[in-house]
Structure 1
């Protein structure tokens, strides 16, 4: 063999390798990996829009009211512990009395919390936030708090102080309160609450507390109370089970509640017009003693309540769908490859790249449209546009209407499956594994007679996409 013949043979072998289905499959695999780059860019775009939505939601909440948590009330009673002391000075015995300020923080014997939460969507620019006005009523009883219930700490005698006892509660933020908060004791004349805990002499940070006074006689005999509160809030409403026995009842027109906190409601009813929920908590579930002495206000107690869940968090849903992008790009390329192997036309690797970019642009269209018309309509519009574009494009490339129809059916199945995966997150892995298995199985049987080396192509009537004679597979 001459050198020229050797070169010609080598070139012929190289052409066969470059023209082989196996080589094209390798090129498509590399191209699929390169498409991860624009996919990551789309994911970053989704994150950016999500951060923007959160910023706007924070602006709405700042103007209307943020998440509200109502804690309390508690009764703070004051006492004096007197300790007699003797000391000898120059042989003379002198007697004096040391006095220590004491206080007792009493939790309600029983507490009933009822709230009607009227909600609406507030929009700013493209974004919205569920906000509400809550009409709250706290009722209950405080047990008598007398000096004989206060254990001495210094070995002295405890007596009642002249300081007026205080009823103290805490809210998340006071500027969202929409009416004066009043304390009604045993059905008597309402008494106004004042902001903060100035003058109470209590240690530590009491947050956004409010306080009102009662008489020493009322504190020592026990009393019933009623506290009406009207306030604005957004996203969530929580309360703390402060009573020895606590009953909580929430009613709202929001149809998508997310119950949160340490305990789920004992009873609940959710309809398209809203929900009702109720809790009943005994003392053991509260986890606090009836009275604490000389301590901080127990305003760090666990809470329960409801989050106003938006039915479709489109940014979270789109972000999850982007994570499946490489999977569906692979399925689409696999379908195009199988169609090409049995169709009269051929698809260049550049055209595979354009097809892949169209699949990536789907997510950009979905994000842009969803911010205006909602997720469902946006998904239908974006998936239909991309499906028609790629189906027509592939049909023209391989010169086969039937190939275009098959491509359209494949893409419709792919996008339909993706939609179901986003709706049924709990079953996403299960469904995805079955789809992957089915794709591998179809590929194995569809290519069982394919000559991957390109040396001797065979025909497979099962994959014949045209009515005429089967064309020789080409790249």
Structure 2
């Protein structure tokens, strides 16, 4: 047993075995991070469900029903018969101008913050392309009297007050729901008067007070679509198919402007049926909370094996250089302390900023390991040495987390330097003639 105790290759095997064993709780830590992130998502969904979910404004567009006659085989009578089928033709506006203001606020569900908002949108534009000649449909089959102007809105409970439409100086009230489901499945509609004997320019204006959460998007349905949004929120993310042509972000908030042409998207100004999924062209603003603690915690956890290997390597070289003996159980306890670091980091980051959480968890973990090292080796010098080495390693990981775009570069250079240091200090060790502990 004494020979086995001082056998260096046996100790290396034990260390490798411990590292592999400790990867199991490490993976459990990653699962815990995912679980806590799911809890946060559920909290956000719960608040959004009651207040109003993320909103996408699609429209306005005019839908006009018409009759189409098709030949169909009647199996019962074994004859071909002519059947009348109801179809829809859709027309998009010539010009669309949207100006809006977003007023966000924070709500809380337990320890989690959720961003909700109230918005005031003024929408105006015009239609001058209501023409069926290109579709080769007879006027007698077109129901101009049932033409409707539709707005797609994701969550109708976000509408705060009655929405009215000014259509060529005529006031019209909107109804709940869309006249058909071919373009959007949720929204509002209003019957609008159209002339069927000539092409007329129709101007419209409406205002929508809309509540929502997380984001506000728009779909560019105009031949020319101009969207101007302002808010006092200072951490927006402009996402979707198009980025703003102009944007200004400061501590006081942001302003943004999009100007999109029909040539920039992949659907026309008029069509029949459900040929196009126009919501895929939406764009807008995410109201982000400056909180990414779960993503950062997960990234730190990905380096767990690196920290385990480097920490155990440090203790192993201390054994060799200082002629001391560290029991495998003591290695195991140090490894468990390293794993507890991640749970400390995760729990702290849910209540305070991530960087401060990392510093606090690091100080607590390194202090525990250093004091334990002093106790088992009876050497303050070795304890301070372990503390210093581990502090450098944790600072290295912290730097990688902060420099996300350069993480691979910094990580590769750091590993190269660490490998060089290990090779330097181990260059004179005779691995075939070395025993652990005091001779």
SS in 1 for 2:350: helix
Report Cα offsets for 1:103-150 as digits up to 9, x if no partner: 542211011122212112211111122211121121111115256x45
Matches within 5 A, 1:124-139: 124-139=109-124
Matches within 5 A, 1:304-383: 304-343=283-322, 345-383=324-362
| CA 1:107–1:279: 2 relative to 1, 3 Å | same
Residue of 410, 422, 428 corresponding to 1:443 = 422
Determine the C-alpha separation between the residues in 2 that align with 1:81 and 1:63.
43
Once residues 230 and 24 of structure 1 are traced to their aligned partners in structure 2, the CA distance between those partners, rounded to angstroms, is: 70
Distance in 2 between the 1:283 and 1:158 partners? 31
1:111 pairs with 2:96 = yes
Q: Distance in 1 between matches of 2:170 and 2:128?
A: 20
What CA deviation, in whole Å up to 9, does each residue of 1:170-204 have, x standing for no partner?
10011111121121224x3532110123xx5x464
More displaced, 427-436 or 168-177?
Answer: 427-436
Extract unaligned runs of 5+ from structure 2: 70-82
Question: How far did 1:15 drift?
Answer: 4.2
1:76 paired with 2:63, answer yes
Structure 1 vs Structure 2 CA RMSD: 2.8
Whole-angstrom CA distance in 2 between matches of 1:184 and 1:157:
27
Question: In 1, distance between residues paired with 2:112 and 2:139?
Answer: 63
Q: How many residues align?
A: 425
Q: How does 1:3-22 map to 2 (within 5 A)?
A: 15-16=2-3, 18-22=5-9
Give the aligned partner of residue 403 of structure 1. Answer: 382
CA drift at 1:159: 8.0
- The CA distance in 2 between the partners of 1:64 and 1:293, in whole Å, is 35
SS at the partner of 2:119? strand
1:224 to 181, 203, 207: 203
Q: Structure 2 residue aligned with 1:242, among 201, 213, 221? A: 221
Say which of 158, 170, 174 aligns to 1:193: 174
Alignment match, 1:281? 260
Contact map agreement 2:182 2:274 (CA 8 A) in 1:
no
Whole-angstrom distance in 2 between the partners of 1:430 and 1:417: 12
Out of 157, 161, 173, which is 2:155 matched to? 173
Q: Which protein is bigger by CA-based radius of gyration?
A: 1
Label 1:101 to 1:27 Cα distance change in 2 as closer, same or farther (>3 A). closer
- Counterpart-to-counterpart distance in 2, 1:303 and 1:214: 26
Q: Are residues 383 and 441 of structure 1, via their aligned partners in 2, closer, same or farther at CA, if it must alter by over 3 Å?
A: same
Q: Call closer, same or farther: CA 1:162–1:171 in 2, change over 3 Å.
A: closer
CA drift at 1:16? 4.4
- The Cα shift of 1:344 comes to 5.9
Task: Map 1:196-215; keep pairs closer than 5 Å.
Answer: 196-197=177-178, 200=179, 202=180, 204=182, 206-215=184-193
In 2, are the aligned partners of 1:236 and 1:307 still within 8 Å (CA)?
yes
Gap change, CA 1:139 and 1:474, over 3 Å in 2: farther
Given the alignment, which residue of 22, 25, 36 partners 2:12?
25
Change (3 A) 1:375 1:157: closer
TM-score, with structure 2 as normaliser = 0.88
Q: CA deviation at 1:351?
A: 0.9
Deviations 1:25-78 (A, max 9, x none): 232122111111111221222222122221111111111111110000012346
Where does residue 465 of structure 1 map in the other structure? none
Q: Is the 8 A contact 2:88 2:272 kept in 1?
A: yes
Equivalent pair of 1:20/1:453 in contact (CA under 8 Å): no
1:184 aligns with 2:166: yes
Which residue in 2 is equivalent to 1:3? none
Q: Does 1:43 align with 2:42?
A: no
SS of match in other structure, 2:406: helix
Q: Which runs of 5+ in 1 are unaligned?
A: 1-13, 83-97, 458-471
